[in-house]
Amino acid sequence: MCRRLSCVRFDLAVIDTPGVDAPATTAAMHAADLCLVPARPSVADIEAARPTIRTLSALGKPFLFVLNQCPPGRSIRTTDAYRALLLMGAVAGVTLALRADHLDALAQGLGVTERDPNGKAAAEIRNLLLWLLLKLEGGNNEEAARVA
């Protein structure tokens, strides 16, 4: 029986790794077609992403930052973080707000789309997925911007 992703045909596989330098994390980065690097809109989070970005760059792997736990609505903090992250690489066109649904879903062992499929957090996750799929399929920035 084959237990490796390379033995099975997938359209999309998402692997969530800890934000630490470990062999499993590096192996996941190496196998990935695109790496997502979550970052909260804070100087500390942006600085904490630098080692990951160095590793991804050394591996020659494409990556996108995903701004998460952002203040809901428009915020100068989110805008400033977006601009700072652009200096380090590409940033997804969809941000994820800090919402109670994320904490509540985690406490129940669920994803936000399972806990409340019609909630704002679930809509943001679906928008991020759609945006990413467009990027992976070679969609242009104009198409992806319409999703965002």
pLDDT in tens, 52-104: 898 899 999 999 999 999 998 889 999 999 999 999 888 999 999 999 999 99
In a domain? residue 17: no
Domain boundary among 61, 83, 98: 98
Which DSSP category does 69 fall into? S
Q: Above pLDDT 70, what percent of the chain?
A: 89
The reply to whether 120 and 89 lie within a common domain is: no
In a domain? residue 90: yes
Domain that holds residue 35: 31-98
In a domain? residue 19: no
The reply to whether 76 and 108 lie within a common domain is: no
What pLDDT, on a 0 to 100 scale, did the predictor assign at position 42? 94
Q: Burial-class residue 64 by CB neighbours within 10 Å (0-12, 13-18, 19+).
A: middle
Q: Burial-class residue 11 by CB neighbours within 10 Å (0-12, 13-18, 19+).
A: exposed
Q: Above pLDDT 90, what percent of the chain?
A: 53
Total number of domains in the chain? 2
CA–CA separation, 10 and 24 (whole Å): 20
For residues 141 and 103, the model is more confident at: 103
CA–CA separation, 49 and 67 (whole Å): 12
Question: Does residue 1 surpass a pLDDT of 50?
Answer: no
Q: For the whole model, what pTM was predicted?
A: 0.81
In a domain? residue 129: yes
Least confident among 6-20, 72-86, 103-117, 126-140: 6-20
Q: Nearest to residue 31, comparing CAs of 54, 50, 51, 56?
A: 56
Strand ranges (E), 20-124: 35-39, 63-67, 90-91
- Give the confidence band of 39 by pLDDT, cuts at 50, 70, 90: very high
The reply to whether 94 and 105 lie within a common domain is: no
Name the region of 112 (left: φ>0; alpha: ψ -120 to 50; beta: rest): alpha
In a domain? residue 92: yes
